[in-house]
Amino acid sequence: MAMSEAARIDLGDTLAALADPTRRAILQRLIRGQARVTALAEPFDISLNAVSKHIRILERARLVQRRRVGREHVLTFNPAPLDQAAAWIAAQRALWTARLDALDAILTAEDAARAAEAAAAEARPAARPRLRARRNRR
């Protein structure tokens, strides 16, 4: 997803915003449609000021957009940062899956080589220890 520098979404801000259960609950509500800040604050047992701080973090991460309608502040959900985070997570999953598959192949090959060596050692007749001729010293 090519983006201009001004429209660039910071993955760190997105992940930090998603780290808090209150902010996730706010986003869950906004996914159903726009809402006033006061309506968003109602179900929480925290002050309107605390909810506003959570909303500012969501705005910094560009997960919500605010607009004024008269004296009311109405918020809407912006899915673009979540899409970018999901794309990053998918890319990391693919990278690490490939790396772990390669490591698994190496370890499986090493185990097979050790098993083959052990089988070959068991198949060989036991080597007789050589007896050294003793020199008589007189």
User: 76-135: per-residue pLDDT in tens?
Assistant: 999 999 999 999 999 999 999 999 999 999 999 999 999 999 888 888 876 666 666 666
Please report the pLDDT score of residue 5 as a whole number: 40
| Beta pairing partners, 77 | 64
Instruction: For residue 130, give both structure tokens.
Output: 């050589």
Please report the pLDDT score of residue 20 as a whole number: 97
What beta strand segments (E) does 1-138 contain? 35-36, 64-69, 72-77
pLDDT per residue over 6-39, tens digit each?
345 799 999 999 999 999 999 999 999 999 999 9
Measured in whole angstroms, how far is the alpha carbon of residue 10 from the centre of its chain? 15
Confidence band for 4, pLDDT divided at 50, 70 and 90:
very low
Flag whether pLDDT at 138 surpasses 90. Answer: no
Query: CA-to-CA distance for 111 and 120, rounded, in angstroms?
Result: 14
> CB neighbours of 50 closer than 8 A, spacing ≥ 6?
44
Structural domains of the chain in order of their starting residue, each with its CATH number: 11-78 (1.10.10.10)
Question: How much is the pTM?
Answer: 0.70
> CB neighbours of 47 closer than 8 A, spacing ≥ 6?
none
Confidence band for 1, pLDDT divided at 50, 70 and 90:
very low
In the chain, the percentage of residues whose pLDDT exceeds 90 is 74
Query: CA-to-CA distance for 36 and 33, rounded, in angstroms?
Result: 10
Closest CA to 64 of 56, 72, 16, 18: 56
